[in-house]
Structure 1
């Protein structure tokens, strides 16, 4: 069995207990026969707590981190082909994924008895974010040999300085076959078109519901007015019937009035004759 490389030894030390790092480094150096290798091991710097959290996560959850970094590589390749809304959506998803990975890393560190402060967790999140934006930073994070946290704006020199050992020797993320990439692009475009169509459908359905409400309100008002019209028509019919009765009874009443008027005239003449007779006495 081949002896472990310097990078393998460094990765093991950087995932061990931070409190025991100095003692572990000394013990590990004493175990190797190569004086130069032992000297390099003794020269290893103790990682920051944020770097240690990332290193533990990279080694304990290598599969989860690797899948996230492969997705990030595909997004970097595809971003030139996407429109602004799609890029904004991917940006939100990337930030959410970064937070979830940082939370998982902090929980993993907590399970080892290490207290992770909010500042440390933010540094862990920035390191993972740097890995999403830069392929070299992704290799550095995946190495499990960070000395300190990375920044998303870190230069190539900054990234190399932040890693113990040779970061360039790390295996690059496997590339998907061109036909599969093309298929994924076509699927993303189909998903984008579906999202646009679904959005248009939702807008049309909201407008239809609005028009249904307005139409029902008009139908209710029409029914109310029709009922009112029936009531008015019935009232008008009653008025017409009453008017007909009045017109029918009017000649008879007029005739009785004429008779009564004649009687009044005759009575007036009788009163006048009686008054004259009285005056003559």
Structure 2
């Protein structure tokens, strides 16, 4: 191990609190032995992190808590604006983000040879949530030097300091927004919501117009087919009417011929009768 002389406590803690808990004590003792004076004593006094705290430290080193801190700022703004829909949406995002980061912590821990139990994973989730909703807790967690896990709200500064090895940065002040700022932000959010509503309405109108256009095209196609059918039927009807007229004419001609034939037959019958009468002997 390199000589620790000249390193401050935070630098030493940074190096130690990323190690698996099983390796912590030996590495701390070696670093303390390499240091001198008060620094050696301080390093020797560093406490072994809990498995859950170590897993959160891995997340910090992996850069995975940045999104959580950004979501924290968005949550605070939504609270300031009393934006209930936005708070509900951010709440869902927070739960999804916490669960995803906890899974990432479990994966990092397993890669380092220390799988997390369900109970430890729950502690990790509580600490990640604290980084989102509590600025003081976030400042402590983001040092990457947690000794034990922390919770959101209800923790005194001394308790938070006790959970971190080395110095603890103060939580950044978040001054209350001025009334004018709140009014402007609320107006902006209202305008953004109105724009989103207008965009949704326009999209729905476009979709409805596209559906109607498709229906119109199908109706026109069907109408064209029916008109073609009507034209075909009219042509067929005209042909049939011509055939019917011809048939009627033929019937009339045949009727005339039939009448003539019957008349001739009657005349022939009468002539035959007369001829037979002439052949009969006179009495």
TM-score of the superposed pair, with normalisation by structure 2: 0.71
Instruction: Map 1:1-281 to 2 at 5 A.
Output: 4=8, 10-27=13-30, 31=35, 33-34=37-38, 38=41, 44-58=46-60, 60-61=61-62, 65-66=65-66, 68-81=68-81, 83-99=83-99, 101-102=101-102, 105=105, 109=109, 113-117=112-116, 119=118, 120-121=120-121, 123-151=123-151, 155-156=154-155, 160=160, 163-164=163-164, 169-173=168-172, 191-246=192-247, 248=249, 252-276=253-277
Which stretches in structure 1 are left out of the alignment for 5+ residues? none
Q: Distance in 2 between matches of 1:98 and 1:184?
A: 27
Shift of 1:233: 0.8
Q: CA RMSD in A?
A: 4.2
Q: Distance in 2 between matches of 1:210 and 1:14?
A: 61
In 1, are the aligned partners of 2:139 and 2:169 still within 8 Å (CA)? Answer: yes
Structure number with the higher helix fraction is 1
Relative to structure 1, the CA distance from residue 276 to residue 157 in structure 2 (aligned partners, 3 Å threshold; closer, same or farther) is: farther
Q: Distance in 2 between matches of 1:68 and 1:32?
A: 39
Runs of 4+ in 1 over 6 A off after TM superposition: 176-179, 181-187
In 1, are the aligned partners of 2:130 and 2:138 still within 8 Å (CA)? Answer: yes
Shift of 1:49: 1.6
Relative to structure 1, the CA distance from residue 276 to residue 71 in structure 2 (aligned partners, 3 Å threshold; closer, same or farther) is: same
In 2, are the aligned partners of 1:29 and 1:42 still within 8 Å (CA)? Answer: yes
TM-score of the superposed pair, with normalisation by structure 1: 0.72
Deviating more after overlay: 119-128 vs 183-192: 183-192
Number of equivalent positions = 272
Measured against aligned partners, the alpha-carbon deviations of 1:109-158 in whole angstroms (never above 9, x if no partner) come to 566x3333363555434421221122232123123332333456x63259
Which stretches in structure 2 are left out of the alignment for 5+ residues? none
In 2, are the aligned partners of 1:73 and 1:135 still within 8 Å (CA)? Answer: no
Q: Report the 3-state secondary structure (helix = DSSP H, G, I; strand = E; otherwise coil) of the residue aligned with 2:37.
A: coil
